[in-house]
Amino acid sequence: MTQARSTHGSRPRFSLFVVLLAGGVLAGCAGCTTPAPDPVPIPEEPAAPTVEPTPDPEPIPEFNEAGNPLDPESGLPLSRTFYFDFDKAVIRPSDLRTLERHADMLRRHRDRSLAIEGHCDERGTREYNLALGERRANAVRSFLMSDGVRDSQIETVSYGEERPADVGHDESAWSKNRRAELIYR
């Protein structure tokens, strides 16, 4: 089941990536052919080489200097913080795509491992929040494992409400504190 899901999940993403790249090249070419009304397009020529390195087979870096995975589309670091609703340990649907990318990275790099930290806002008792933080970390862990990441690649730790990202005492701070963070090793 797990195997089927992971192979099924990765292929379409790769083809989507190729399509997007191709789209980018086409868009670039479309750009350089637009100056139709102007009959002197020669000085515009240097714009073309800037798009050329993109289709180069040179591998795009998958991790930055800090060892954190990069988004294969944007080249920017993948988000490593995932937020939760009050008193809940359910991953938000909008985070699933990013988590799939993390799973992808960890599947392709079995030497990489990470710690998942679970956190809560300050409301409620401290020990209960440690348990809730663990539940959040475990929700992320279960998702990654169902996407093919090995148990040995993941460690979870709950800090409950002990390590707030924002020390404020309002909903704005609380919403930033109810989170799971992926710490790559």
Partner 1 sequence: MNIRSRWRAVAAATALTLTWSASGAGEKIIIDQGYDDQTRIAVVPFETAGGDGAGIAPVVSFDLARSGQFDPLPPENMLSLPTRPEQVFFRDWRVLGIEYVLIGRMWELGDGELATAYHLLDVFNERELLSGRLAAPATKRRDIAHRIADEVFEQITGIPGAFSTKIIYVLALDAGTSYARYRLELADSDGERARTLFDSDQPLLSASWSPDARRVAYVSFESGRQAVVIQDLVTGERNRIAEYRGLNGAPVFSPDGNRLALVLSRDGNPEIYVKDLASGALRRVTRYPSAIDTEPSWTPDGNGLIFTSDRGGRPQIYQMDLATSMVERLTFQGDYNARARLLPDGEHLVYVHRRQGTYHIAWQALEREDVRVLTQTSLDESPSIAPNGTMLIYATQDRGRGILAVVSIDGRVRYRLPSAEGDVREPAWSPYIDALSPSSGY
State the residues that interact with partner 1 by CB under 8 A.
122-128, 130-132, 134-135, 156-160, 162-169
Q: Which is nearer to partner 1, 71 or 166 (CB)?
A: 166
Residue 182 CB, shortest distance to partner 1, in Å, is 16
Q: Are 136 and 118 in contact (CB under 8 A)?
A: yes
Q: Which is nearer to partner 1, 105 or 116 (CB)?
A: 116
Residue 169 CB, shortest distance to partner 1, in Å, is 6
Alpha-carbon distance of 117 to 13, in angstroms, equals 27
Residue 87 CB, shortest distance to partner 1, in Å, is 8
Residue 114 CB, shortest distance to partner 1, in Å, is 14
Residue 161 CB, shortest distance to partner 1, in Å, is 9
Residue 182's DSSP bridge partners are 116
Alpha-carbon distance of 69 to 63, in angstroms, equals 4
Q: Which is nearer to partner 1, 103 or 129 (CB)?
A: 129
Q: Which is nearer to partner 1, 92 or 126 (CB)?
A: 126
Q: Which is nearer to partner 1, 108 or 123 (CB)?
A: 123
